[in-house]
Every structure is written in structure tokens, then in C-alpha cells.
Amino acid sequence: MSQFVSRLLITVAGVPVVLGLAYLGGWWLFGLALVATFVALHELYVMARGLRPLVLAGYAGALATLLGAQLGGPAWMIGGFVLTLLLAFLLYGIAETRQTATVTVSSTVLGTAWIALGIGHVLLLRSIPAHAQLIVLTVLIAVFADDTAAYLVGRLVGRHKLAPALSPGKTWEGLVAGTAAAVAVAFFALYQERETFLSIWQALVLGGVIAFAGAAGDLFESALKRDLGVKDSGQLLAGHGGMLDRIDALLFAAVASFYLVLAFGYA
């Protein structure tokens, strides 16, 4: 089976499930977020096993971060995240590891900061006072459209490398196509609510922010994988690679989207 066909089948099967649980929200979305976070954390810690991350501290901190986002909002989410640092320090004191405290604790906290906080902001988007369903679905679909358009255009007509030192497969043509797709999704998804929620210009800005934040998230993961000497974070999703390969753009885009909506006065 070709990589393209594999990606297509997984997308057709997975996207409706993700969007359905995001639409339902509540503990349904929390369950999906928790599974995605734990799988992605596992992939990261396996890739970085030479750095000796304290995985128990990472998992516990991630759980606390997501619970904080679900139950108490941004302040509780940050409180849950800080727990990771405390647990990592305590576990390092009793763990038998040859790695330095700086490297071990940093690699542990990185997982929670990058993955759990990123997915936690999806939960925060789903809990804004008004239009929560609309905005979280818009962000998810825009990230998906951006990723898909960038992948297809990059493969078909991409000639100019975006950041060859980090990711040789990313192209400027793909970035332009992905940005256009994300902006179009945001425009059409939010158009009907332009008088009561985000205006047209705000929706267009949101689409652009999602695209550029998503591209940054993709490149961030590529930089880490190159540094750790791996091609994919895992093989869970076949043509998509691992879970982390699938959600890398969302981890940055969800954060940027939440604070942009907050700046517009709706969160």
C-alpha cells in the first residue's frame, strides 16, 4: 500500500471520529485528548530515551495539565503543568540514571509543555463562553486542511524548500497552499456568525495564524526528530507516522488560536 493511500484511509476513518468527539465536547473530548497526549508522550520519550526522561513524572504532569484545563481553565492547567517539574525533581533524586539532572528534567518537562499544554488548549477552546463548538471545529478543520493542502501541493509542484536544514520535504509552495486552505476554512466556517462572533477580518486573521503556527509546529517536531536521529515519531498511523507526526501542527495552532480569540474578546 502506498503512503498516499495509507494516509487517505486513515484520514477518512479518523477525521469524523475526532470531529464528532470535539462536537460533543465534555468528557468525550477529554478522553480523546488524554489518549492522544499519552500516545504522543510515549513516542517522544521513546525517541529521547537516551536523555533518560522521567516518564512517570511526564505522564502524571500531563494528566494534571489536562484535568486542570477541563475543570478549572487556564490557571489550573498551568498549575497541573508545574506539577511535572516538581515530580521530575523528586523522581530524579531516587532514580538510577547516568544522565545529568539538567538533561533528564528538561527532556521530561519538554514533553508536558509541548504536548499536554498544546492539547490542553484544544480543551480551553471547547470551553469558551460562546460559540465553543464552532471555534474548536473550525480550528481542527483548518489545521487538517492546511496540512493536507501543504502536503499535496508540496509533493506535486513544490520546488522551493521552506527550511531544508530542518525538514527537506517542506516547501514554500506548500506553505502558500496550506495558508490559503486554512484561511478559506476560517472564512466560510465563521461567515454566518460574523455579526455575533468573529468578524470577517478576524476570521481571516485566525486562518492565517492557524496556518503559520501549524507550520511552525511541524518544523519544531522536524527539528527534534533530526536532533534525535529519527524519521517518524512512530508507526501507529502507518502513512501518517506516529501520533506526534499527526498532531504536531495542532499543538502550536491550538495555543495560537486560543490566545487570538482571547485577544478578540471571546474567551
For residues 181-204, average pLDDT: 96
pLDDT band at 1 (very low <50, low <70, confident <90, very high): very low
Percent of the chain with pLDDT over 70: 93
Q: Which residues contact 190 (CB under 8 A, 6 or more apart)?
A: 134, 138, 197, 198, 203, 206
Enclosing H/E stretch for 167: strand 167-171
pLDDT band at 14 (very low <50, low <70, confident <90, very high): confident
**Residue 156, number of CB atoms within 10 A of its CB:** 10
pLDDT given at position 234: 59
| Integer Cα distance of 184 and 253 in angstroms | 16
pLDDT in tens, 210-257: 999 999 999 999 999 988 888 766 566 555 578 998 899 999 999 999
Q: Which residues contact 78 (CB under 8 A, 6 or more apart)?
A: 68
pLDDT in tens, 73-83: 999 999 999 99
Is residue 129 scored above 60 in pLDDT? Answer: yes
| Integer Cα distance of 41 and 137 in angstroms | 24
C-alpha torsion angle, residues 146, 147, 151, 152 (rounded to 10): -50
